């Protein structure tokens, strides 16, 4: 899955959509009592190969920077259909419908602000002050050092003893949830994906630790909207999630610090006890 919100943005953060796709409301002063206007696009630019969908924001609120206009671009070609000879029609199997509902939930979360370029705008929900950014040299997920003018202060960047480049979200609620989940009070945050995709830091959780989370990099049938992902939304300062609608992920739950800090496989291809 690849998500690239730049596909429909330019310098003013307006969606570059064909005029025929605009609703009448899009050219008026706006839609009253609406928090987010979402454009749904099928087979837009960027589809192809194994890409299932793309999503992002088009416009931000003038004072809070919360996304107010976003898009989801559904790539239809990879969707499997089955033929029914009785009705002479093609249909999508129920299992695939369920998968795609989860996929579009994933994309909606990107449009809400779970994006690499949106962390810099997050607001502390307790103080209502922006977390801010810092200009500094960092090591990007491809291992290359870069000087970046606006590194989000909600992120922590370091290199492990094995040379792995790590980016973590370190906001208070995210940190608390990840400590509770793994039963490891020394964790500083939740790790982001470390596969380089032209961005210095990622827009998904690292699947090594959050395999079954809806915001992992790869969609599965039973991805879960977890307390961790809701904690990130709350820590953005833009949303107040209802945690009763989240589900606990089972991967690594209560496994301890070694599960997070140790290797999945040790000498002679053995799986350590903490990974069982």
Phi/psi at 52 (5° precision) = -95, -35
What digits encode the pLDDT tens for the residues 165-178? 999 999 999 999 99
| Residue 10, marked binder | no
* 107 catalytic per annotation: yes
Q: What is residue 273's predicted lDDT score, i.e. its pLDDT?
A: 65
Long-range contact set of residues 205-213: C-beta below 8 Å, sequence gap at least 24: 205/229, 208/264, 209/182, 209/251, 209/252, 209/260, 210/249, 210/251, 211/249, 211/251, 212/249, 212/250, 212/251, 213/249
Mean pLDDT taken over the chain = 85
CA angle 117, 118, 122 (to 5 degrees): 145
Phi/psi at 216 (5° precision) = -70, 170
Which of 107, 168, 207, 234 is an active site residue? 107
pLDDT at 10 over 80: no
DSSP secondary-structure letter at 266? B
pLDDT at 42 over 60: yes
129-275: what fold? 3.90.132
- What is the distance in angstroms between the CA of the first residue and the CA of the last residue of the chain? 28
Task: Tell me the C-alpha distance between 31 and 143, whole Å.
Answer: 44
Task: Tell me the C-alpha distance between 110 and 2, whole Å.
Answer: 11
What digits encode the pLDDT tens for the residues 238-251? 999 999 999 999 89
What digits encode the pLDDT tens for the residues 118-142? 999 999 999 999 999 999 999 999 9
| Residue 181, marked binder | no
Q: What is the mean pLDDT of residues 154-161?
A: 95
Specify burial of residue 55 (Cβ count, 10 A radius: 0-12, 13-18, 19+): buried
| Residue 245, marked binder | no
Task: Tell me the C-alpha distance between 260 and 267, whole Å.
Answer: 18
Note the pTM of the prediction, 2 decimals.
0.84
Q: Domain ranges for the chain, please list them.
A: 5-112, 129-275
């Amino acid at each position: 899955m690849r998500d690239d919100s730049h596909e429909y943005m330019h310098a003013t953060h307006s969606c570059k959509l064909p005029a025929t796709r605009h609703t009448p409301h899009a050219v008026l002063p706006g839609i009253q009592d609406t928090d987010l206007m979402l454009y749904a696009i099928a087979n837009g630019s960027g589809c192809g190969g194994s890409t299932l969908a793309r999503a992002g924001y088009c416009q931000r609120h003038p004072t809070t920077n919360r996304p107010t206009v976003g898009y989801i671009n559904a790539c239809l070609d990879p969707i499997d259909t089955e033929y029914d000879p009785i009705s002479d029609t093609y249909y999508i199997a129920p299992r695939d419908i369920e998968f795609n509902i989860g996929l579009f939930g994933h994309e909606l979360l990107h449009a809400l602000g779970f994006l690499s370029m949106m962390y810099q705008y997050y607001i502390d929900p307790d103080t209502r002050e922006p977390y801010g950014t810092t200009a500094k040299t960092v090591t990007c997920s491809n291992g290359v050092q870069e000087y970046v003018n606006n590194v989000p202060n909600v992120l922590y960047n370091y290199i492990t003893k094995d040379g792995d480049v790590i980016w973590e979200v370190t906001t208070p609620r995210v940190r608390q949830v990840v400590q509770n989940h793994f039963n490891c009070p020394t964790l500083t945050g939740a790790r982001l994906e470390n596969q380089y995709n032209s961005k210095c830091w990622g827009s998904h959780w690292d699947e090594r630790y959050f395999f079954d989370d809806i915001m992992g990099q790869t969609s599965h049938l039973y991805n879960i909207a977890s307390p961790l992902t809701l904690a990130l939304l709350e820590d953005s300062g833009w949303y107040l999630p209802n945690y009763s609608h989240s589900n606990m992920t089972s991967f690594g739950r209560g496994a301890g610090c070694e599960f997070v800090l140790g290797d999945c496989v040790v000498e002679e291809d053995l799986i350590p006890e903490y990974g069982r």
